[in-house]
Amino acid sequence: MLLAVDVGNTHTVLGIYEGDKLRHMWRIETNASQTSDELRVSLGGLFGLAGFSKDDITGVVVATVVPALRRLWAKVGAEMMGHEVLSIDVAAAGDLFDASAYPSSTIGADRIADAVAARAIYGSPCVVLDFGTATNMEVIDAEGRFRGGVIAPGVETSMKALFSNAALLPEVELADPVGAWGNNTVEAMQVGIVYGEGDRVDGLVRRIWDQLGYRTPVVATGGLSKAMQPFCETVTHVNQELTLEGLRMIWEYQQ
């Protein structure tokens, strides 16, 4: 079994693959101060609940945007499961990720995995929309090349900034306000947050289409992708396992 791990700033998503089948998936809080012993205990508990042990793990692949946690997962992979951890970067992705049209050598590991999976599953061209701590977009052109992307504050990040800087505004749920304006404070905030994010996404995607010169499929992933999809007219697919799928594909490529 393969353990695929997507370590984000806020949440860590773990998947267990048997071949190309995702058998188990968990979403836990990212803890940058966690020790290797604490992580081993957490993993042991998750594995036990799913009915298997660390000895069933035959490989570990990790994408992380947190440098300290890259070292932590490397240590736990080696000490707990006895495997060298494959850490994702452009070199690891090899021929699966064409960065020939992208001038920078610095690309986030999660963005690489998203682009690899989107190109393989949905073809080229394609735009990936990842709803996380940041709202990320990855652009793949008709030739299958990674062209760049967009990084903006995520929905929950924007909400927290609003709540913390406006003392009289209450926290609200991500719900459809069903109107272009609100009839109370909560509804007014939902219009701004929910419809505002949806319109921002659609506006950015349409700018991408204009620059490419053609339309593309738009694949939404991330923890809030299902919640936000109804408010984004340009989204054509939702795939919450997209990053894990990209990690699996890169790991298999390396084998």
Q: What is the pLDDT of residue 168?
A: 57
Q: For the domain 2-87, what is the CATH code?
A: 3.30.420.40
Evaluate whether 2-87 and 95-115+123-243 have a shared fold: yes
Query: What ranges do the domains of the chain cover?
Result: 2-87, 95-115+123-243
Q: What is the pLDDT of residue 62?
A: 95
Q: What is the pLDDT of residue 95?
A: 93
| pLDDT above 80: residue 162 | no
| pLDDT above 90: residue 83 | no
Catalytic residue selected from 6, 98, 110, 141: 110
Superfamily of domain 95-115+123-243: ATPase, nucleotide binding domain (3.30.420.40)
* 27-31, 106-110, 161-165, 211-215, range with the lowest pLDDT: 161-165
Q: How far is CA 32 from CA 10, 17, 217, in A?
A: 10, 25, 35
- 110 counts as catalytic: yes
Q: What is the pLDDT of residue 179?
A: 83
Q: Is the entire prediction scored with pTM above 0.85?
A: yes
* 32-41, 104-113, 153-162, range with the lowest pLDDT: 153-162
